Structure 1
Amino acid sequence: MNEPIDEPSATERTWPPLVACWTRAVKQAAENAHQLQQASHPHADPKTHRRQWFGLWGQATEAYLRSSDFLKLLKRHIDTLIDAKLAGDFDPADTRVKAGRLSSDVRALAMSFGQLFPETKSVPNRIHGGGPGGGGGGGVSPQTPDRPSKWATPFEVVYEATPLKLLHFQPAKVRFAEPVLICFALVNRPYILDLKANRSVVRRLLDRGFDVYVIDWGNPDDSDSALRLEDYVCSMLNNAVDFICQRSHSPRLSLLGYCMGGTMSTLYTALHPERIGNLILMAAPIEFDGESGLLNLWARPETFDVDGLIDAFGNCPGEFLQLVFQLMKPVQNFAEKQLSFMENSNNTEFLDDFETIERWSGDTIPIAGETFREFVSMLYQENRLVNNQMVLAGQTIRLAAITCPILLLVAQRDHLVPPESTLAIKERVSSGDVTSLSIEAGHIGLAVGSQAQRNLWPLAAEWIASHSTQR
């Protein structure tokens, strides 16, 4: 009697052709880069030769990531995830299944690069502790609960309103009346701001004498899927500001927002200008039009069915976002980074920094579904903020309502938020004091990079100090 044959799942029917198409594109981009390099730099030393090739390879691959062919592939990829969820391929009660499927996809795409560099095949497991369950491929690892030990600096949880926790970091001596509140993004976890003593935004602010608070938005579960952007901005963030101002006996504070948290901080400041003494924006997307950023291109409604994704999953899976972020810089994430690891395998400090950042990168969390739907549709797809069409809790957001001093921190190599997206706020606010600081770094390097810690943050801390009231 013949054994019954299991029908392949939606993902199993679609991943092989997707990976095959990706592999062809990767190899073609690598070949084009090699030919171009041979013509322009035929006699470079091996290490320089490889770095030059990575640069050319990255440019060739990015051209593909902007092509109509890839946008069609990306749409099929996302639609397949939606169909698989609706077909029951994902158990909604088992987040490990969702993580496993998406992480497997990352590993399959990473193998496209690994075929060109066989010596890097063991690197992902070495990064994540070895073994098939140790994460890897593109830095994706299983979710782990947040622990105080992930922060380099001691803190106290002074306020909780599920899922939010408010962390307080106190300096040896408070020198300024206005505390600093850091509003992190809803993506990933905020301890990237305090990874190590020498790579800590929190520590730089404490050293200057600021009373520092950080919002940890928590790990949304299915019961949080209905939370909207107005719940985060007009309720949770507003309540945190009220609590801090009462606790510190200050009528206002300095609000520092990073990435999506910067956008949320801008929304809040426009609604409550009287509560914010200074607004500091780190790589905060404000202007969402144009194609300089891949996310702007990929998030278009003809490519990304955000309604379908949220209707199917409830919340936006953190693993989905991690996969998207990995694909934006595939040469760097799947090849160049691994070779850097190999080249510095005897450098203890490099390996420690590398592993710490990789583990943070893989420590993904979901985003509340309705909030993600609104952020993508109202901002990435409709660009409402700069056009005075954004409405939260019945109130229209007008950037011209912002009058406080503003500090803009941007990274020139930021692939997630192009500098011009943040700098666009200059012409739209009523502030007479807007300063911008820029460094040659990427999105994460703005917080933890050695250049940022050495050059940017001392200047940023001094700017906040000069715009604060000394005690």
Structure 2
Amino acid sequence: MEHAGKLPPAEAVPAKSAVQHSAIDRAFHATLGSLTGGLSPMGLATAWFDWAVHLAGSPAKQAELHERAVANAARAVQAAVSCSLAPEGGACPEMAADKRFRDEEWHRYPHNLFAQWFLLTEDWWNSATSRVEGVAPRHAHMTNFAARQTLDMMAPSNFAATNPVVLDRTRVERGANLVRGARNWLEDFARYAEDAPPDTGDFKVGETLAVTPGDVVHRNRLIELIRYRPTTKKVQAEPLLIVPAWIMKYYILDLSAHNSMVRHLVDQGFEVYMISWRNPGAEDAELSMEDYVRLGVIEALDTITRAVPGARVHAAGYCLGGTLLSIAAALLGREGDDRLASLTLLAAQVDFTEAGEITLFIDDSQVAFLEDIMADQGYLKSDQMAGAFQMLRSNDLIWSRTIREYLLGERGGMNDLMAWNADATRMPARMHSEYLRHLFLENRLALGQYRIGGRAVSLEDVTLPVFAVGTEKDHVAPWHSAWKVNHFFDGPRTFVLTSGGHNAGIVSEPGHPRRQYRIGEVHGHAADADLWRAAHAPVEGSWWLAWVDWLRARSTQERPAVGEALPSLDAAPGRYVFG
């Protein structure tokens, strides 16, 4: 008999019910993700709560913020007087340093006052979300970033009524600029609603972009391998395989004729092979990171080996393509396979502990949120990933474009790099989840715990000569993070720090104005990045020339550029690039 008051044992929740609840969560998160650009509001809420609770429990920080508020209020009152008395010169140093307010029109009253009040508000919120004792460092960065994003959205430069440049233009054109801006907005909205490709003007793949002559010599469900036709009578004995990132179309390295890295290499006597990744669909949801290693890098290497038996291969990887190439090189090193002759890593990372502000969008909450979105559609849409990268430089990539196209009514001029950037790709669900969890969150590659074929691979097994490139203004793979490749490889290492950002720093052709780079060997795994930088003077020009010399110094001889060992399946740029 049951004792009085004793509850019966709880019944286990049926597995079917758990599955149903999981499906409900996935559907809810997928719907929510369509409204938030794929960003998890739960992760931001957690960070905000951490900050708010610790700020509430810190009277010293509250006193500091009160003092700053009083000081800024005094400066605001002073600005109200000085700006009205000096209408043509009421610009503070902060205004001059902020490119949103550099135009002469901002020196007029009351717009100089609006700008200074905004900058004082920005200063207070930056202090409020910084150095709050007890807040987790990651949560502190997230709240500070969120505050900056919110304020950037509210800047007086973003509104027609408070932007003097827009007001002057509207007065001169009698509102025609706003009519054009409305038309631009409607065109963009219609294109977004229809999921139509962006208008890239005269820049078309296969016509003005990606036009270096070549042939698709291998195709599987994931890649096309393009062999570019030699332009010299002799080529270096060792072919060069280029592995681009799968989150972008390969032709960032084969843009127009004047800035194509591929064309430059071919003209310098290299036999170049390029991987072109297939843009995945829902049917590719189960493709894994290991599939990308084996069907991508390893199968491309096997194909080149059949074409040039006995020859070793130089390999270069750009961005995440460099990370993937590093994994493949570690796999080859583990297996005792010596087909690679050297390794070039362009703005690539193998240690993700300091991967820049993009890590603010990658935590357990965010990854779980994305996994639910991808489970619903089988892949991550390009715009869901692009939103995070745009927010890293919101003033340049979002708000300045909004002002130019929708308030001033000017369509920005298209160039080849912008056309490529608009040609976005998707991510298969399983691969993207593994990439975020195993590389970003758990940093398994750097820890020697990343598994291929059920066994861990180690970067220390890579004893090849390494040529690594970082870019000074990189917001995707900060150069200090790219520098960390020097902590893992055991072979001779050469590092290059070039001017420019993640894309423009790599697409840095000879003759490009105002380009410079630093280059030197790296000695010891514990070498300090900033000390290395201080010890190497900048060199004017393109780092491409130094890379070509480095590759030649590690090549054995030349051979005739004749013969077609592999049949052509299609002319370059192939089919997958249009996916």
**What's the counterpart of residue 90 of structure 1?**
none
8 Å CA contact 1:200–1:447 kept in 2: the answer is no
TM-score by length of 1: 0.72
Q: Distance in 2 between matches of 1:365 and 1:109?
A: 31
For each residue in 1:316-341, what CA deviation from the matched residue of structure 2 results, as whole angstroms up to 9, or x when unmatched? 11121112211111111124467899
Counterpart residue number, 2:545: 458
| Contact 1:204/1:461 (8 A) holds in 2 | no
> Structure 1 stretch 447-456 or stretch 294-303: which is displaced more?
447-456
Match of 1:282 in 2: 346
Q: Does 1:186 align with 2:250?
A: no
> Which residue type is aligned with residue 392 of structure 1?
I
Q: Is the contact between residue 331 and residue 452 of structure 2 (CA under 8 Å) also seen in structure 1?
A: no
State whether structure 2 residue 270 is matched by structure 1 residue 205.
Answer: no
Contact 2:275-2:296 at 8 Å conserved across structures: no
> Who is 1:79 aligned against?
none
Letter paired with 2:299: N
Query: Could you say what secondary structure the match of 1:167 adopts?
Result: strand
Q: 1:312 aligns with which of 368, 371, 376?
A: 376
Contact 1:178/1:250 (<8 A) preserved? no
Q: Which residue of 2 aligns with 1:6?
A: none
Which residue among 497, 508, 533 is the counterpart of 1:438? Answer: 497
Q: Percent identity?
A: 23
Superposition pairs of residues 242-253 of structure 1, within 5 angstroms:
242-253=302-313
Equivalent in the alignment of 2:436:
376
Q: What secondary structure does 1:249 align onto?
A: coil
The one-letter amino acid paired with 1:198 is H
- Check whether the contact 1:245–1:251 (CA below 8 A) recurs between aligned residues: yes
Deviation at 1:172, TM superposition (A): 1.3
Q: Distance in 1 between matches of 2:34 and 2:557?
A: 64
Q: CA deviation at 1:163?
A: 2.9
Q: Kindly tell me: are residues 385 and 304 of structure 1, through their superposed partners in 2, closer, same or farther at Cα, counting changes over 3 Å?
A: same
Contact 2:281/2:378 (8 A) holds in 1: no
Is contact 1:143–1:365 with CA below 8 Å preserved after alignment? no
Which ranges in structure 1 are unaligned for 5 or more consecutive residues? 1-8, 19-30, 75-107
Change (3 A) 1:362 1:161: same
Q: Distance in 2 between matches of 1:167 and 1:430?
A: 31
1:298 aligns with 2:356: no
Once the two structures are TM-superposed, the CA of residue 240 in structure 1 deviates from its matched residue by: 0.8
CA pair 176-339 structure 1, distance change in 2 beyond 3 A: farther
209-218 vs 227-236, which moves further: 227-236
| Cα gap change, 1:339 to 1:193, in 2 (>3 Å) | farther
Task: Give 3-state SS (helix, strand or coil) of 1:308's partner.
Answer: helix
Matches within 5 A, 1:346-361: 351=413, 354-361=414-421
Look up the SS of the partner of 1:408 in the other structure: strand
Per-residue CA deviations over 1:244-272 (Å, capped at 9, x if unaligned) read 12202343211110001000000001111
Question: 1:231 aligns to what?
Answer: 291
Give how far 1:135 is off.
6.3
Cα distance change on mapping 1:11 and 1:148 into 2, 3 Å: same
Secondary structure of the residue that 1:447 maps to in structure 2?
A: coil
Amino acid at match of 1:272: L
Deviations 1:181-233 (A, max 9, x none): 11011112111111111111112211211001110011111111100000110
Query: What residue identity is the alignment partner of 1:49?
Result: R
Offset from partner CA, 1:79-120 (integer Å, 9 cap, x none):
xxxxxxxxxxxxxxxxxxxxxxxxxxxxx9999946557479
Q: Give the counterpart of 1:402 among 456, 462, 465.
A: 462
For residues 200 and 367 of structure 2, the distance between their equivalents in structure 1, rounded to whole angstroms, comes to: 25
Give the equivalent residue in structure 1 for 2:5.
none
Aligned partners of 2:487, 2:384: CA distance in 1, in Å?
34
1:148 corresponds to 2:235 = no
Tell me the distance in 1 between the aligned counterparts of 2:33 and 2:465.
53
Match of 1:468 in 2: 555
Aligned residue for 2:345, secondary structure, equals: strand
1:122-178 deviation line (CA, Å, top 9, x unaligned): 68988x996654569xx983899x953331312211111123101111221242111
For residues 322-381 of structure 1, give each alpha carbon's deviation from its aligned partner in whole angstroms, at most 9, with x where no partner exists: 122111111111244678999xx99xxx94xx4322221111111111110000000111
Give the distance between the partners of 1:112 and 1:186, measured in 2 at CA. 36
Amino acid corresponding to residue 468 of structure 1 in structure 2: S
Question: Which has the larger Rg?
Answer: 2
CA spacing shift, 1:401–1:132, aligned 2, 3 Å:
same
Unmatched tracts of structure 2, length 5 or more = 1-29, 40-71, 80-89, 107-114, 130-139, 170-176, 518-540, 559-579
Alignment of 1:317-336 (within 5 A): 317-336=381-400
Give how far 1:445 is off.
Answer: 0.7
Offset, 1:72: 11
Residues 471 and 506 of structure 2 are in contact (CA less than 8 Å); yes or no, is this contact kept in structure 1?
Answer: no
> What secondary structure is seen at the aligned counterpart in 2 of 1:425?
helix
TM-score, reference length from structure 2 = 0.60
CA contact (8 A) 2:158 2:402 kept: no
Question: Residues 48 and 468 of structure 1: is their aligned pair in 2 closer, same or farther, counting only changes over 3 Å?
Answer: farther
CA RMSD of aligned residues (A): 4.5
Higher mean Cα deviation, 460-469 or 401-410? 460-469
Total equivalences in the alignment: 399
Secondary structure at the counterpart of residue 397 of structure 2: helix
